[in-house]
């Protein structure tokens, strides 16, 4: 694309390979020498002849001197690059299907009006299957509408672009439609909607954006998009139900654009699959009422877990574990603390608590005096019931008693135990959810924690385990794991192979008072995750589409502890056996939700594959769809104002209908004036290597010889 360039000024400078003083001295010596040689001539010359010959020789010898000094000339120019606005017009036939002369005339009048008002600041393009400069009359005969090519052109453009005026009916039926890619351009889209707006009167729940997996007692957001035609300014009641129980009801005023969004907060009381329903109040003269209701389902996971903490003896680590866990309102904590054979610190201890527990925490357990019955219950719960557990090793732990579940431990061992050594942490998996404190990963906090006691027992990470942190001995990193996790089938486990970890809280409290408590409760949350739940899932609104129809795709992404992950790199790819499309990136909507659009230009059975990058791990999911051989462009009768409004709002622009008073032109003119850039261009010329100087030398010496001969000089 071209851009206006105005020459402001130029600056010329020279550089030498020797000192400037030497050049001045050389020029002075040349001038004196030439003057001296022409001081007396035979025959005598008049004043003009003498100084003309002196000038020719001085100039020639100075050029030789400049060449000897390897002189370079640099020309610096400061250019003013005017800011531009692109007017991009939809040239597809769907715009004029219903009323060709009316819409064609309005678009042409709009173009002429904007060209006149923004003279010198506007460039015109059309788009359909491709993007082209507008050099002739619009034909409105393109058989497809590809917004992806518009974005590709804008990304590759190097002009000083400030904004885009986008004239279209919004019916994009070819290529992908990625609002996130439009946002990344950093340019505002000022959308002008053109096309038929004479819809039949209707209200429809078009789309519901929600998390398929939520937690009992935890609030989540349900966002609905309600389309309305023919009822601008009307107020309707929208009601949210769980089964037949009303959760909330809100009144909204339907806007003139027909695209209305409403949010409901949902806090489920109990776990299980929940049937949810949104109902929009029917209005008089509404032609279709069945689409005023939408039913959907969410899977509610239990958040209040029964946690059983078993300790082989009363220790400082036990006290700090309990303090951290008692602050967690999402768990029901029970403790069993051994003090002597078959004697416990707590009153009325029941071993049935092992069977009832959702999570087991083993602190220095088992020991030499541990109850065999209690130990058997624990081993059975882990091996048979797959109860997730955390094990913390201390000097009293007798690891050999865990031999029946050795294959299920997060670590492996060769010997019982030996000397106690002090070690610090070296974080290996810095983005693991266990280390997330206040929604941030601060690796330096973990690496600077006080040392803890470690047993030199040749403890190794078991096959399939993930090492979160290793030991550092006297500033020398080792392979000894300190914190590690493992998942075997549906069984999750965490190993903390050190004791006196209370130091992480007591001695580091001033720097990060939340670190220890959040780490312990992160462990609980990680152990609570149901392995059958998908951390990454993909879904579409339906399974059958027409050729070039826009396919709405949404995805959900969670970390290892099932915390929703937003602003991650999530992409989709449309493919079939003998064809693969381009990778499209989805837009993050918060709460781990992503959405985007894609389309297929030919019929067949396709697979949409999705990929998410999370902490160096790639998660994948896919779904199958069918594309039917239907010409969507010829069937489109109405404007897709929803797309145009979303494009404008997501990029900081505005949306108007073509019949509206377009009031943003003056604003764009001011933006262009404010965004004028100055560009400095440097052009360097090597004078000593330029053949023109040889030609000039020949001319100068030739002229001197000619005048000397003509004057009769010896």
| Half-sphere CA count of 439, side-chain side, radius 13 A | 4
CA atoms within 13 A on the CB side of 293: 6
pLDDT digits (tens, 9 = 90+) for 373-385: 999 999 999 999 9
DSSP 8-state class, residue 258: S
pLDDT surpassing 50 at residue 6: no
Longest CA–CA span in the chain (Å) reads 136
Q: Residue 7 pLDDT more than 50?
A: no
Handedness of CA 304, 308, 313, 317 (dihedral sign): negative
Q: Residue 630 pLDDT > 60, yes or no?
A: yes
Average the pLDDT over 33-58 and give the result: 82
**Percent of the chain at pLDDT exceeding 70:** 93
Alpha carbons 474 and 83: distance in angstroms, whole number:
60
* pLDDT score recorded for residue 228: 86
Q: What is the DSSP secondary structure assignment for residue 92, as one 8-state letter?
A: B
Residue 563 to residue 438: CA distance in whole angstroms: 13
Out of 392-396, 455-459, 615-619, least confident range: 455-459
Q: What is the mean pLDDT of residues 454-473?
A: 85
Confidence (pLDDT) at 10: 52
- How far, in Å, CA of 36 to CA of 706, rounded? 21
Confidence bin at 160 (pLDDT 50/70/90): confident
What is the chain's mean pLDDT, rounded? 84
Res. 125: pLDDT tops 90? yes
pLDDT in tens, 139-154: 887 877 888 889 989 8
End-to-end CA separation in angstroms for the chain: 65
- pLDDT above 70 (res 632): no
User: pLDDT at position 15, please?
Assistant: 72
Return all residues near 522 (Cβ < 8 A) that are at least 6 apart: 433, 434, 435, 436, 561
What confidence tens digit (pLDDT) does each residue in 326-365 have? 988 888 999 999 999 889 999 888 899 999 999 999 999 9
Structure tokens at 606: 């396709």
Mean pLDDT computed over 111-132:
89
Mean pLDDT of 688-700: 81
User: How does pLDDT run across 61-97, given as a tens digit for each residue?
Assistant: 888 887 777 777 777 776 777 888 999 999 887 776 6
Host H or E run for residue 708: helix 691-711
- pLDDT tens digits, one per residue of 550-587: 888 999 998 877 788 888 899 999 998 889 988 889 98
Instruction: Kindly tell me if the per-residue pLDDT of 633 is higher than 70.
Output: no
**What percentage of the chain carries pLDDT values higher than 90?**
28
Integer Cα distance of 464 and 488 in angstroms: 8
């Amino acid at each position: 694309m071209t851009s206006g360039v105005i020459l402001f000024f130029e600056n010329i400078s020279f550089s030498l390979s020797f000192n400037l003083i030497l050049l001045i001295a050389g020029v002075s010596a040349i001038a004196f020498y030439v003057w001296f040689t022409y001081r007396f001539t035979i025959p005598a010359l008049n004043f003009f002849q003498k100084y003309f010959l002196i000038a020719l020789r001085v100039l020639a010898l100075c050029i030789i001197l400049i060449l000897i000094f390897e002189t370079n000339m640099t020309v610096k120019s400061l250019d003013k690059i005017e800011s531009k606005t692109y007017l991009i017009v939809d040239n597809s036939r769907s715009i004029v299907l219903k009323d060709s002369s009316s819409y064609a005339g309005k678009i042409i009048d709009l173009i002429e009006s904007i060209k006149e008002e923004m003279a010198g600041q506007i460039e015109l393009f059309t788009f359909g299957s491709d993007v082209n400069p507008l050099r002739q009359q619009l034909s409105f005969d393109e058989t497809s509408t590809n917004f992806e090519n518009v974005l590709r052109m804008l990304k590759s453009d190097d002009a000083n672009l400030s904004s885009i005026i986008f004239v279209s009916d919004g019916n994009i039926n070819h290529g992908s439609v990625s609002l996130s890619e439009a946002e990344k351009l950093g340019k505002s889209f000022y959308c002008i909607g053109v096309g038929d707006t004479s819809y039949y009167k209707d209200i429809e729940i078009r789309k519901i954006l929600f998390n398929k997996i939520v937690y009992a007692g935890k609030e989540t957001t349900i966002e609905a998009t309600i389309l309305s035609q023919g009822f601008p300014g009307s107020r309707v009641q929208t009601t949210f139900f769980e089964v037949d129980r009303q959760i909330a009801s809100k009144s909204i005023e339907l806007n003139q654009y027909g695209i209305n969004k409403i949010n409901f907060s949902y806090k489920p009381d109990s776990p299980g699959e929940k049937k949810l329903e949104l109902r929009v109040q029917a209005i008089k003269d509404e032609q279709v009422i069945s689409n005023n209701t939408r039913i959907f389902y969410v899977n509610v996971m239990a958040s209040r877990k029964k946690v059983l903490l078993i300790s082989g003896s009363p220790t400082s680590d036990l006290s700090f574990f309990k303090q951290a866990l008692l602050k967690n309102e999402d768990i029901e904590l029970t403790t069993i603390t051994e003090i002597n054979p078959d004697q416990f610190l707590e009153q009325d201890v029941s071993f049935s608590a092992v069977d009832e527990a959702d999570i087991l925490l083993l602190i220095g357990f088992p020991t030499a005096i541990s109850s065999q019955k209690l130990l058997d219950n624990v081993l059975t719960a882990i091996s048979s019931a797959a109860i997730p557990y955390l094990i913390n090793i201390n000097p009293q732990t007798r690891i050999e008693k865990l031999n029946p579940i050795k294959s299920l431990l997060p670590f492996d061992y060769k010997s019982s135990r030996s000397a106690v050594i002090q070690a610090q942490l070296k974080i290996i998996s810095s983005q693991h959810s266990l280390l997330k404190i206040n929604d941030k990963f601060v690796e330096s906090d973990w690496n600077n924690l006080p040392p803890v006691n470690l047993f030199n027992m040749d403890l190794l990470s078991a096959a399939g385990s993930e090492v979160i942190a290793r030991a550092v001995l006297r500033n020398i990193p080792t392979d000894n794991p300190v914190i590690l996790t493992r998942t075997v089938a549906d069984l999750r486990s965490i190993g903390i192979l050190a004791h006196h970890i209370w130091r992480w809280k007591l001695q580091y409290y001033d720097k990060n008072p939340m670190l220890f408590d959040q780490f312990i409760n992160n462990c609980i949350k990680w152990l609570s995750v149901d392995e059958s739940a998908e951390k990454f899932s993909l879904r579409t609104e339906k399974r059958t589409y027409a050729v070039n129809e826009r396919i709405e795709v949404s995805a959900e992404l969670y970390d290892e502890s099932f915390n929703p992950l937003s602003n991650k790199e999530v992409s989709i790819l449309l493919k079939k056996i003998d064809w693969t499309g381009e990778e499209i990136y989805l837009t993050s909507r918060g709460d781990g939700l992503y959405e985007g659009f894609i389309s297929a230009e030919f019929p067949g059975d396709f697979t949409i594959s999705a990929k998410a990058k999370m902490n160096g791990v790639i998660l994948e999911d896919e779904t199958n769809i069918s594309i039917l051989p239907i010409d969507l462009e010829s069937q489109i009768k109405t404007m897709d104002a929803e797309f145009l409004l979303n494009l404008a709002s997501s990029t900081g622009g505005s949306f108007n209908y073509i019949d509206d008073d377009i009031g943003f032109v003056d604003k764009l003119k001011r933006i262009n004036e404010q965004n004028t850039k100055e560009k400095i261009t440097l052009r360097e010329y090597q004078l000593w290597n330029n053949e023109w100087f040889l030609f000039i030398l020949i001319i100068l010496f030739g002229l001197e010889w000619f005048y000397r001969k003509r004057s009769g000089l010896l």
